[in-house]
Chain A
Amino acid sequence: MELKRGLYFTIDSIIAGSIILIFILIISSFYIREQPSRRLNYLSQDLIRILGTVSVGELDNNYIKGLINDGAISSLDNSVLEQIGEFWANNNMEYASKTASNVTENWISNNTGLGIWIDNELVYKRDIPIKKSLVSSKKMISGIKKGYTSSSPDRKKPPTLWGPIIVEIRVWE
């Protein structure tokens, strides 16, 4: 009669070792920390810094030039954010949204969302779902209401102001 013995084969140990290794790798993958998206930090900060200081008169943008030629933009010294704020204050949301869209769209990749809120009211949103993270930068702006300033404003005839209000740029991916 042939002896039947339980044997410890090398191949078994390799398979067993592989299973344990795979198991450890899977477990350790749960502990991998995802890098915070610093790219978004810089994007939102740079946008609010540039749009908050560059005037509509000095920015080479065809849409804004068109608005200047049409008379929709009267003060060339307004920063781009102030101009968007002025459109918002005058309830001209279409101009506000299109201006925001035109000056930002070339700098936002396809997988990045962007929104501009003024006084918590959405002005423009490039809507993609938030999957990873969202970063926000804010700036306080104010301005003179359109048509509410005299040629020589003084204490008796002060210009009507809008703001100060908070403009917020959020970017996400």
Chain B
Amino acid sequence: MNIKLKSQAFFSDFAVSTLIFVIFIIIYFNYTKNLSNQGNGLDNLLANAETISLHLTSDGYPSNWNSNNVVRVGFTDNGNKINNQKFNEFEKMNYNKSKKLLGTMYDYFIFFLNESGNLTNVEGFCGAGYPEIDVKYDIKAAYYYKDNNNDQFLKSFMENEFNSDVYCKDDDDCPGATLDDLRNNINNYGFVVLEAPEWSVGNQYNPFKPVAESWVDSGGFLMISGELVSGQKKEMVGAAFEKGQGLSSSQERATVVRQDEFLNFEVEQSLIFDQGFTVENAGQAVDFTDIARFNESDIDFDDILNNKIAIARWSYGNGKVFFFSDFDATYFKGNFQENLKASIKKWIGAKCLPFDISKIKRDNLVRVDRLIFYNSKILKMVLYSWN
């Protein structure tokens, strides 16, 4: 029997192999199509981020814009120098409004790095943009108030912004966190706020004074409001505090007498303090700066310049002190509480802690770096944008 040796191909094999080959081709084209789509998405995102950075490093429009007349946001002046006033307006702006003005549908967040690559506080802010990114300050803070029946205007702010420890007079209101505890722990803090403490001379003021002075002298930041101590003209941290004569009214008018680099109040604008308490330089205060003075019975600005002081700040040793007659106040040209909170962040100049962006839900994320100039230093502005 003659057997012909021939190569043979079965139809089923051919069909299977063709199918596999077609699957490979489909996979390939799908892969390249996705790659292309992803590339376009990234390109758009990057172009958008660059546009945002260009806007922010411009002077904006109109060139002297504010929150009422802004058309395009930008917070630098000629030469990439940050304009503090515009930057503060930008910081106060609602996030969605800022996105609209920047013409972006993507989320964004900006922050600043110093020459060592560390996060840097600009005008009291560690970053701006996407509100869910929580940037904390690298400073340990304490807040003291008298009791639950008295003023605690800065309590929630201190807790939220600085993760502050809270102390008060009585163990009932603040278990394990009384004035004695604050006195014992004060050296653990960099920033302490005393809101309307109303200390008695013997039990509270006398033991706290030397500890506070030593702490401020070594570099602490102390903020005081309201009645520090019930006795008249008691001295602490270089200044004398008192309930001045003629300041017995419950609504004391005052006037801004000096433009301050931290407190964004306009000169000659009026304030009303719920309670009128005053401070004066007792001799050891350095760079004592009066910012607002009580009107008392005067009307003319020049006369008010010699009146009792409602807001002042000064240095004591290596530390700094800020005094407010009361945190319960009204500012005629704006929001007192907002100005107060912004000035605190700016005044203490705290370093910023690194923040975590890994929890942000995103498909793509791009980064644009720009150089800007702020407070005598070149900084790197980093812009993250994502979709």
Give residues in A with beta carbon < 8 Å to B: 1, 3-10, 12-14, 16-18, 20-21, 24-25, 28, 38-39, 42-43, 46-47, 49-50, 52-54, 58-60, 103, 106-107
Picked from B21, B46, B79, B377, the residue with its CB within 8 Å of the CB of A53 is: B79
Specify the chain A residue showing the minimal Cβ separation from B50.
A38
Residue B297 interfacial (CB < 8 Å) = no
Q: How far is the CB of B57 from chain A (nearest CB, A)?
A: 8
Is B368 among interface residues, defined by CB-CB distance under 8 A?
yes
Closest to A42 in B: B370
Is B8 in contact with A6, judged by CB distance below 8 angstroms? Answer: yes
Interface contacts (Cβ under 8 Å), in number, total: 97
> B42: nearest residue on chain A (CB-CB)?
A35
> In chain B, what residue has the closest Cβ to A46?
B371
**Chain A contact surface mostly:** helix
Q: How far apart are the CA atoms of A38 and B383 in the complex, in Å? A: 14
CB of B13 closer than 8 Å to a CB of A = yes
Question: Does any Cβ of A come within 8 Å of B28's Cβ?
Answer: yes
Query: What residues of chain A lie closer than 8 Å to B7, measured between beta carbons?
Result: 5-6
CB neighbours of B32 from chain A (8 A): 28
Q: Which residues of A contact B150 (CB under 8 A)?
A: none
State which residues 5-33 of B face A: CB under 8 Å: 5-10, 13-14, 16-18, 20-21, 24, 27-28, 32
Interface residues in B329-387 (C-beta closer than 8 Å to A): 368-373, 375-378, 380
Contacts of A13 in B (CB 8 A): 16-18, 20-21
B50-94 to A contact mask, C-beta < 8 Å, 1/0: 100100010000000000000000000011110000000000000
Q: Which residues of A contact B21 (CB under 8 A)?
A: 13, 16-17, 20
The 6 closest A-B pairs by CB, nearest first: A53-B79, A13-B17, A6-B7, A46-B371, A106-B115, A60-B376
Is there an interface contact between A49 and B16, defined as CB atoms closer than 8 Å? no
7 new A-B contacts at CB < 8 Å, known A49-B80, A53-B78: A8-B9, A13-B18, A18-B24, A50-B372, A53-B80, A59-B376, A60-B375
Whether the pair A107, B371 counts as a contact (CB closer than 8 A) is: yes
A-B contact pairs, 28 of them (CB 8 A): A3-B5, A5-B8, A6-B7, A7-B10, A8-B10, A8-B13, A12-B17, A14-B20, A18-B24, A24-B28, A25-B28, A39-B369, A42-B50, A43-B369, A46-B57, A46-B370, A47-B371, A49-B79, A49-B80, A50-B80, A52-B79, A53-B81, A54-B373, A59-B376, A60-B377, A106-B115, A106-B378, A107-B115
Residues of A within 8 A of B53 (CB): 42
Q: How far is the CB of A74 from chain B (nearest CB, A)?
A: 20
Measured between beta carbons, the chain B residues less than 8 angstroms from A39 are 368-369
A166-B273 Cα distance, complex, nearest whole Å: 58
A17 to B376, CA, bound (A): 63
A60: chain B residues within 8 A (beta carbon): 375-377
- Which chain B residue shows the least CB distance to A53? B79
CB-defined contacts of B28 to chain A, threshold 8 Å: 21, 24-25
Q: How far is the CA of A157 from the CA of B7 in the complex (A)?
A: 105
A46 contacts which of B3, B80, B375 (Cβ < 8 Å)?
B80
Task: List the A residue with the shortest CB-CB distance to B12.
Answer: A8
Check if B5 sits within 8 Å of A4, measured CB to CB. Answer: yes
| Selected contact of B9 from candidates A4, A6, A14, A20, CB within 8 Å | A6
In the complex, which residues of chain A have a beta carbon less than 8 angstroms from the beta carbon of B78? 53
Across-interface contacts of A3 in B (CB, < 8 A): 3, 5
A107-B380 contact given A5-B7, A8-B13, A42-B369, CB 8 Å threshold = yes
Chain B residues positioned under 8 Å from A18 (CB to CB): 24
Min distance, Cβ B365 to any Cβ of chain A, angstroms = 15
CA–CA, A64 to B373, complex, Å? 16
Contact A1/B3 with A8-B10, A54-B81 known, Cβ cut-off 8 Å: yes
* Chain A residues with CB under 8 A of B57: 46
Residues on B with C-beta less than 8 A from A24 are 28
* Chain B contacts for A54, CB-based, 8 A: 79, 81, 373, 378
Do the beta carbons of A50 and B3 come within 8 Å of each other? Answer: no
Let me know if A17 and B115 touch, CB within 8 A.
Answer: no
Whole-angstrom distance between the alpha carbons of A43 and B370 in the complex?
7
What is the CB-to-nearest-CB distance from A11 to chain B, in angstroms, rounded to a whole number? Answer: 10
- Contacts A5-B7, A8-B17, A12-B17 given: A20-B81 contact, CB under 8 Å? no
